[in-house]
């Protein structure tokens, strides 16, 4: 109900082209239609956006980066976003522009890293934004040893939302679906449909030296060292009180900031938290996530899969009948994976505090050829060890819930054969990524986006 305060996606990875740094991408304002004018999309000046890092095993923010935005109208007499081509960030024809500040908070100390940093305009079309790539490049800022960008990007998250939320109708195996006995309905295996392929999003992209995120400034080297793993999550907060003044287009806000949304692991809130508790979950800190643990250890979707696909998941159904908790999912999503579970030389554990954090082991270098299935596909530099733009998090999480990771903690369990095809049918984004910062691709043009 509040897109500008929606923490919609989070990525974190060791920068492939800048050794010794980590890149964090925090997305907000999701599912943007590129032609959405005349006001177009932007970050909210009323929202405090934040990226939090836990590095001490407490699931508390040891380091926080805060972003505050300000919007300015240069010509109040026109309804237009721009009155001519926007050829630079200083173009007089650009009527509504945003600037922002970045503050780092650690050990009770706040440090202003940058202010009056300019966001690029939205990608409107060939007349309004004739050289958008150059505009976006000029909006990359170097601030106190960090690199930052905040603005519109093409959404790199690829997912067949239409099939998943049509009662779990996964196209690659939909011929096995029970179909609820709907007369005359026959389904057959099909490729996935990328419902976000032509949509944009607003991204905060931050690249910082590894030592800025870790405990004691540790710069890595030993994968098994507890200091190598950090937990990351994002939030968006608004002031507690809002007064809308009658008869005037004026709003007054006051009071402390109240958290409206947060995000750690992808799809955690969407799939594992009951609908009635989603707003409450969004308001909480990760330190209290033990109260949501049952959604992880006894996920509803794991119970539904054998019902939706009769006969396809007999081993999963048998395990569900025992009532045993899913220790594999608890490790992946709530504590991180201890050493020796996946491999003797891998871990991304943050301690015993159950918390929804995107965990990244900074001592594991970027992969030269990323496998979209990440750790499940044998690539320990990928999800759930952080998350790269290429990672197929939907397939990984669906297969994990279906039981592919259960043998890691229960040697007696054999994954069902159907798991090999459990997916939304997508293996990568159709949106071109960038090989250098800010990595996430050029936003789709409002004029040029095809039907």
- pTM (two decimals): 0.97
Instruction: Report if residue 445 sits inside a domain.
Output: no
Average pLDDT estimate for 39-65 = 97
Is the bond leading into 38 cis (omega within 30 degrees of zero)? Answer: yes
Strand partners, 27: 9, 203
DSSP-derived letter for residue 197 is T
Q: What are phi and psi of 174, to 5 degrees?
A: -70, -15
* Angle at the Cα of 432 from the Cα atoms of 166 and 265, rounded to 5 degrees: 50
With beta carbons less than 8 A apart as the criterion, state whether 210 and 55 touch: no
State how far the Cα of 273 lies from the Cα of 264, in Å rounded to an integer. 13
Burial classification of residue 186, based on how many CB atoms lie within 10 Å of its CB (0-12 exposed, 13-18 middle, 19 or more buried): exposed
Mean pLDDT of 46-56: 98
Of 305, 269, 250, 284, the C-alpha closest to 419 is: 305
* 71-104 residues labelled b (16+ CB within 10 A) or e (exposed): eeeeeeeeeebbeebbeebebeebbbbbbbbbbb
Q: Is the pLDDT of residue 248 over 80?
A: no
Q: Is the pLDDT of residue 350 over 90?
A: yes
Q: Per-residue pLDDT averaged across 414-426, rounded?
A: 96
Q: Which residues contact 35 (CB under 8 A, 6 or more apart)?
A: 446, 447, 449
Q: What is the pLDDT of residue 129?
A: 97
Is 442 part of any domain? Answer: no
Domain range for 409: 3-194+201-421
Answer whether residue 391 shows pLDDT above 90: yes
Mean pLDDT within 378-398: 97
Would residue 429 count as lying in a domain? Answer: no
* Tens-digit pLDDT profile for residues 253-272: 999 999 999 999 999 999 99
pLDDT in tens, 56-91: 999 999 999 999 999 999 999 999 999 999 999 999
Rounded distance, CA 91 to CA 211, Å? 38
DSSP state of 412: T
- Can you give the pLDDT at residue 147? 98
Which residue has tokens 């507690």?
240
103-153 confidence digits (pLDDT tens): 999 999 999 999 999 999 999 999 999 999 999 999 999 999 999 999 999
pLDDT one-digit tens code per residue, 158-171: 999 999 999 999 99
Confidence of residue 247 (pLDDT cuts 50, 70, 90): confident
Reported as a single tens digit per residue, the pLDDT across 372-385 is 999 999 999 999 99
**Total Cβ atoms within 10 A of residue 56:** 16
Q: How far apart are CA 301 and CA 324, in angstroms?
A: 15
Under the banding of pLDDT at 50, 70 and 90, the label for residue 251 is confident
Distance linking the first and last C-alpha atoms of the chain: 26
Q: Which DSSP state fits 365?
A: P
Q: How confident is the model at residue 407 (pLDDT cuts 50, 70, 90)?
A: very high
Let me know if residue 33 belongs to a domain. Answer: yes
Structural domain total, the chain: 1
DSSP H or E stretch at residue 71 = strand 63-73
Confidence of residue 246 (pLDDT cuts 50, 70, 90): confident
The predicted model gives 285-311 an average pLDDT of: 97
Share of the chain above pLDDT 70, in %: 99
Residue 451's pLDDT band, with cuts at 50, 70 and 90, is low
Question: Measured between alpha carbons, how far is 251 from 253 in angstroms, rounded to an integer?
Answer: 7
Q: Give the whole-angstrom CA distance, residue 33 versus residue 26.
A: 19
Cα 89 to Cα 138, 241, 406, 447, distances in angstroms: 8, 34, 52, 20
Looking at the domain assignment, is residue 177 inside a domain?
A: yes
CB 275 within 8 A of CB 20: no
């Amino acid at each position: 109900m509040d897109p500008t305060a929606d923490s919609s996606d989070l990525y974190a990875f060791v920068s492939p082209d800048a050794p010794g740094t980590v890149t964090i991408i925090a997305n907000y304002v999701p599912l943007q239609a590129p032609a959405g004018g005349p006001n177009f999309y932007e970050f909210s000046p009323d929202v405090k956006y934040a990226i939090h890092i836990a590095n001490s095993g407490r699931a508390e923010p040891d380091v926080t980066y805060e972003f505050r935005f300000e919007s300015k109208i240069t010509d109040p007499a026109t309804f237009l976003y721009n009155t001519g081509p926007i050829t630079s960030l200083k173009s007089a024809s650009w009527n509504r522009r945003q600037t922002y500040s970045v503050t780092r908070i650690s050990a009770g100390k706040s440090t202003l890293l940058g202010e009056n940093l300019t966001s690029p305009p939205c990608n409107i079309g060939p007349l309004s934004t004739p050289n958008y790539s150059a505009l976006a490049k000029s909006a990359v800022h170097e601030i106190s040893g960090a690199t930052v960008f905040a603005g519109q990007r093409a959404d790199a998250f690829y997912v067949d939302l239409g099939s998943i939320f049509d009662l779990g109708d996964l196209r690659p195996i939909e011929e096995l679906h029970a179909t609820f006995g709907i007369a005359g309905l026959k389904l057959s295996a099909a490729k996935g449909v990328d419902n976000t392929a032509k949509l944009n999003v607003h991204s905060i992209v931050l690249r910082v030296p590894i030592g800025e995120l870790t405990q004691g400034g540790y710069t890595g080297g030993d994968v098994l060292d507890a200091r190598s793993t950090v937990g990351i999550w994002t939030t968006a907060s608004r002031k507690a009180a809002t007064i809308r003044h009658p008869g005037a287009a004026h709003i007054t806000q006051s009071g402390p900031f109240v958290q409206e949304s947060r995000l750690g692991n992808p799809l955690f809130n969407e799939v594992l938290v009951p609908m009635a508790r989603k707003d409450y979950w969004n308001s909480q800190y990760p330190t209290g996530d033990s109260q949501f643990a049952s959604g992880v250890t006894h996920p509803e979707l794991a119970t539904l899969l054998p019902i939706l696909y009769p006969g396809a998941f007999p081993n999963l159904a048998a395990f569900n009948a025992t009532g045993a908790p899913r220790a594999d999912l608890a490790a992946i999503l709530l504590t991180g994976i201890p050493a020796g579970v996946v491999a003797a030389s891998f871990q991304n554990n943050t301690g015993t505090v159950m918390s929804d954090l995107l965990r990244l082991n900074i001592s594991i270098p970027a992969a030269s050829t990323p496998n979209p299935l990440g750790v499940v596909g044998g690539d320990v530099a990928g999800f759930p060890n952080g998350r790269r733009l290429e990672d197929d998090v939907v397939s990984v999480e669906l297969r994990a819930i279906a039981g592919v990771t259960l043998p890691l903690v229960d040697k007696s369990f054999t994954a069902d054969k159907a798991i090999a095809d459990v997916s939304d049918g997508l293996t990568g984004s159709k949106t071109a990524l960038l090989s250098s910062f800010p990595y996430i691709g050029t936003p789709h043009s409002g004029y040029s986006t095809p039907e």
